[in-house]
Amino acid sequence: MQAADINSKIALIKNNDEEINRFVEEYKPFIASCTEKLTGHYVRYGEDDELSIAMMGFVEAIKAFDGTRGNFLSFSQNVIKRRLIDYYRKEKRHSNIISLNTYVGEDNEEYDQSSGESLDKYAGDRLNEYRRLELEQLGNELSGYEITFFDLVSVSPKQDRTQKICSEIAGFILSRPDLIKVIKEKKYLPVADIINALKVPRKIVERSRKYIIAVVIIASGDYQYIRDYVNIGGRGENK
């Protein structure tokens, strides 16, 4: 089924629970594939908690989807990813809550980890994997702007004043959906709009162009864990 056909079908069934259930059954292989890609291991329905979380995320995506969100399958994959991240974070916070599928072996002998260290490691490994996947996704998106991670290392603000100006610029852009649209559709930074609105030095805006674009892409995109991990508004080194 083509993406446009799927989008049309979602619009028809999103308020019909019976049709939603049929659609979920049809796309169980897709849901499992998304889950395996994100968790890095094989999963089975009825055995792995992650699949239950992923199915709930898929249903949530059906009910939340609208035509402005592009491809439904891509949208649903992002929702599934967010729900799994939330799940692992919750598991890590409440280390006394364990999954029987994780801690009970085939011989039904309970695997005792009173310290919760195994759960912490398991959740931590999964979150690290999600962060790696998000970084990979970010790298692909930034390549459309001819920006690499090496570029970001070299152009990231080093002075407090420059960092403050860049943060102000990013905040301004993020408050303006029209400017975000310009950046994402035309692949350039609207320098004139920024200078006219904020009265900041052109030299700083132009030198920090790649950094500012990257901050806007991360803050406005589906990069939940990178946003938590990277201190976008952090201070630079004094120089």
> Would you say residue 99 lies in a domain?
yes
CA angle 200, 151, 126 (to 5 degrees): 110
Both structure tokens of 3 = 């993406």
Q: Which domain holds residue 182?
A: 149-229
Residues 39 and 127 grouped into a single domain: yes
Does a structural domain hold residue 142? Answer: no
Q: Is position 217 within any domain?
A: yes
Residue 71 lies in a domain: yes
d(CA 137, CA 129): 12
- Asked if residue 43 is part of any domain, the answer here is yes
> 133, 158, 191: which is the final residue of a domain?
133
Q: What average pLDDT does range 176-197 have in this prediction?
A: 94
Is there a single domain that holds both residue 157 and residue 84? no
CA distance 100 to 110: 8
Q: What is the largest CA-CA distance in the chain?
A: 70
Residues 126, 9 share a domain: yes
Q: How far is CA 221 from CA 78, 92, 210, 224, 236, in A?
A: 11, 25, 16, 8, 24
Domain match, 61 and 92 both: yes
234 within some domain: no
Please list the helix, strand and coil fractions of the chain in percent, rounded to the nearest 5, in that order. 70, 0, 30
Residues 125 and 17 in one domain: yes
**Are 65 and 127 part of one and the same domain?**
yes
Q: CA 36, CA 42: separation in Å to the nearest integer?
A: 6
Question: 238 in a domain, yes or no?
Answer: no
d(CA 196, CA 175): 16
Considering the domain architecture, whether residues 126 and 154 belong to the same structural domain is answered as: no
**133/135 Cα distance (integer angstroms):** 5
Would you place residue 126 in the very low, low, confident or very high pLDDT band (cuts 50, 70, 90)?
Answer: low
Q: What does residue 146 show for φ and ψ, rounded to 5 degrees?
A: 60, 45
- Listed residues 133, 157, 177: the one ending a domain: 133
Q: What is the pLDDT of residues 49-105, one digit of tens each?
A: 889 999 999 998 998 887 665 788 888 988 898 888 888 777 655 444 333 233 333
- Is 109 in the same domain as 178? no
Predicted pLDDT of residue 227: 73
Same domain, yes or no: 104 and 14: yes
pTM of the model: 0.54
Number of domains in the chain: 2
Of 99-103, 114-118, 145-149, 232-236, give the lowest mean pLDDT range. 99-103
Q: Write down which residue in 88, 105, 133 finishes a domain.
A: 133
Kindly state the average pLDDT of the residues 120-133: 67
